[in-house]
Amino acid sequence: MEQAITPPAPTRDGDALTEDLCRALLTPGNAEEMARLLSDLCTPQEIRTLAERWHVARLLDGTDLSYRDIHDATGVSTTTIVRVARFLRQEKNLGYRAAIDRLEEPNDAR
């Protein structure tokens, strides 16, 4: 017998909301499903902003391009590029690093 999922109680607790969102973001089984979820969750501009940050992280990690070169090639603001670089290289979250490393793993290691 399947266990019924209890609907969440209304909350303003940012940590609880973030945790619930993280669980939802783990549910897509492939890129197409994730794209559909993101389209429901985010505006087109929000998706574009997230995609640009991810692209900048990959460029910063995988190339020798300067911040100016990245700006010129992508149109992403230098402020955003500096922020992404800080989170990629200095902040404790290591979210960019973990995602980049995971993508570089052979498929059988995932």
Q: Is 3 part of any domain?
A: no
In whole angstroms, give the CA distance from residue 99 to residue 34.
15
Together in a domain, 56 and 101: yes
Q: Is 62 part of any domain?
A: yes
| Count of domains observed in the chain | 2
The tens digit of pLDDT for each residue in 37-84 reads 999 999 999 999 999 999 999 999 999 999 999 999 999 999 999 999
Together in a domain, 105 and 54: yes
**Please, what is the end-to-end C-alpha distance for the chain in angstroms?**
31
What is the pTM assigned to this prediction? 0.85
Together in a domain, 36 and 60: no
Q: Which residue has the higher pLDDT, 41 or 6?
A: 41
Positive or negative torsion for Cα 17, 21, 22, 27 = positive
Q: Is 7 part of any domain?
A: no
Together in a domain, 27 and 77: no
Together in a domain, 52 and 94: yes
Q: Which pLDDT band holds residue 108 (cuts at 50, 70, 90)?
A: low
Q: What pLDDT sits at residue 1?
A: 58
| Full domain range(s) for residue 29 | 12-41
Percent of the chain with pLDDT strictly greater than 70: 95
Q: Is 18 part of any domain?
A: yes
Together in a domain, 30 and 72: no
Torsion angle of the four alpha carbons 77, 79, 80, 81, in this order, in degrees rounded to the nearest 10: 90
- DSSP-assigned letters across all residues of 58-70: HHHHH----HHHH
In whole angstroms, give the CA distance from residue 17 to residue 10.
10
Q: Are 59 and 67 in contact (CB under 8 A)?
A: no
Together in a domain, 53 and 81: yes
In whole angstroms, give the CA distance from residue 58 to residue 96.
9
Q: Which pLDDT band holds residue 8 (cuts at 50, 70, 90)?
A: confident
Mean pLDDT to the nearest integer, 90-102: 94
